[in-house]
């Protein structure tokens, strides 16, 4: 059974850097084809994919946020870490990590989500 869970601060100040950790089980990010994505959702708004890391450490980012993002993985700890710099109020959202199914290219398992509020 695959599970994922996001952890990190619930409140960050404008201009600060957000660091979120996705801790997962039920698969290994050292296995060919596996990937973990990050998707966010501002309150009352739609889903927005913005980052993905693959088993081979290939990383892809949304062009709109690329300059602010870093995603890394720790295979031994079964964790993926997201860093987003220069946080603003518009970045207030629920942040989800999700497992990318190698066969279907759909996000088939999701974390519960972490609400991050950007406010001074």
Partner 1 sequence: DIQMTQSPSPLSASVGDSVTITCRASQNIRNYLNWYQQKPGKAPRLLIHTASILQSGVPSRFSGSGSGTDFTLTISSLQPEDFATYYCQQSYSVPAFTFGPGTKVEI
Q: Which residues of this chain interact with partner 1, rule CB under 8 A?
A: 37, 39, 46-49, 52, 60, 62-63, 96, 98, 101, 104-108, 110-113
- Interatomic CA distance for residues 62 and 3, integer angstroms: 24
Shortest Å, Cβ 32 to partner 1: 16
For strand 48-54 and strand 59-61, is the pairing parallel, antiparallel, or unpaired? antiparallel
Tell me which DSSP letter residue 101 carries. P
Instruction: Compute the Cα dihedral for 113, 74, 30, 25 and give only its sign.
Output: negative
Residue closer to partner 1, measured from CB, 6 or 91: 6
Residue closer to partner 1, measured from CB, 20 or 111: 111
Shortest Å, Cβ 102 to partner 1: 12
- Interatomic CA distance for residues 21 and 61, integer angstroms: 17
Shortest Å, Cβ 39 to partner 1: 8
């Amino acid at each position: 059974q695959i599970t994922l869970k996001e952890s990190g601060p619930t409140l960050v100040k404008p201009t600060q850097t957000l660091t979120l950790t996705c801790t997962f089980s039920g698969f290994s990010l050292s296995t060919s084809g596996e990937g973990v994505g990050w998707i966010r959702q501002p309150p009352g708004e739609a889903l927005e994919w913005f980052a993905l890391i693959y088993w081979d450490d290939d990383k892809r980012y949304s062009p709109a946020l690329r300059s602010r993002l870093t995603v890394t993985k720790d295979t031994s700890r079964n964790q993926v870490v997201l860093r987003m710099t220069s946080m603003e109020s518009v970045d207030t959202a629920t942040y989800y990590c999700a497992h990318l199914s190698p066969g279907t290219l759909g996000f088939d398992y999701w974390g519960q989500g972490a609400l991050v509020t950007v406010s001074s």
